[in-house]
Amino acid sequence: MRGSGGGKVVIGGGIGLLLLVGYVLLSGGDPSVILGSIANGGGSLSTDGGTWTPSPEEAQLADFVSVVLADTEDTWTTIFQQSGMTYVQPKLVLFSGGIDSACGYAQSATGPFYCPEDQKVYIDLAFYRELKDQYGAPGDFAQAYVIAHEVGHHVQNLLGIAAKVRRLQERDPSRANDLSVRLELQADCLAGVWGHSTEQRNILEAGDVESGLAAAAAVGDDRLQRQSGRRVSPEAWTHGSSEQRVAWFKRGLAAGRIDACDTFASGR
């Protein structure tokens, strides 16, 4: 949940790669070509030195990420259509080490992020090891939450919310951090909206929701500050506390609607 364009989203628990690949097969897709056609032909594999050949573990993760992204596209296409709008699908870029984006250069330390300038979701697969080993949030649904959070930023971009927030931040820099937190918490809630869709389709397994909640809690600003040996400083937060992130993810998960995610009208 760090990053220039947004936070990290995690899907944990026991959805399982096989179940997701099975979803692709049932949808008429061929999981063997996912790496070659990431994000509807718009994806790529990049590294500091150019192209990057993923390890078998990374290739499996890339398959997983691609399938989850495709599932979020189905969900948001339906939701937008119900409101008379058209959902423009984001592109996916998997990278290692560092990457140039339309939002500037980013290193692995940035974590997964969304760039509104090129409408791409950038994922460094090494972050998933971090999520499990450093933040204690393993599981497929934890990984998927990260993707769904970044897609939440894409939804905000399409709806004009992100641009409005940037204008407000420029107009009143004293509110920049507060507005950033509200934007990130809304992306958590929108990730929950997608999670609600997976529940309705009986894709989730026992432990999945708990895994997603653990991931949201793991990347709360207060927890990250404590982990780094710093005092908890709410004025320096950019994404919100563990409690806030979990609460908004749960709200989206329960409601399954965009209008349930108005973090700007709430006291957080």
Which residues fall within 8 angstroms of residue 156, CB to CB, at 6 or more apart?
A: 162, 183, 186, 187, 190
pLDDT band for 27, please (50, 70, 90 cuts).
very low
pLDDT at 46 over 50: no
Q: What is the pLDDT of residue 231?
A: 57
Strand 91-96 to 120-124 pairing: parallel
Q: What is the pLDDT of residue 76?
A: 97
Q: Count the alpha carbons within 13 Å of 102 in the hemisphere toward its beta carbon.
A: 10
- 9 vs 28, which has greater pLDDT? 28
pLDDT band for 208, please (50, 70, 90 cuts).
low
Mean pLDDT of the region 38-55? 48
Among 115, 120, 144, CA closest to 216:
144
Mean pLDDT of the region 50-58? 66
Look over the chain and give the mean of its residue pLDDT values, rounded to a whole number.
72
- 24 vs 129, which has greater pLDDT? 129
- 35 vs 208, which has greater pLDDT? 208
Q: What is the pLDDT of residue 196?
A: 92
Let me know: does 10 contact 131? Beta carbons within 8 Å: yes
Q: What is the pLDDT of residue 161?
A: 95
Q: What is the pLDDT of residue 203?
A: 76
Strands (E), the chain: 44-47, 50-51, 91-96, 98-101, 104-107, 113-115, 120-124
pLDDT band for 193, please (50, 70, 90 cuts).
very high
Among 65, 202, 70, 75, CA closest to 142:
65
Q: State if pTM tops 0.85.
A: no
> What percent of the chain clears pLDDT 90, i.e. is strictly above it?
32
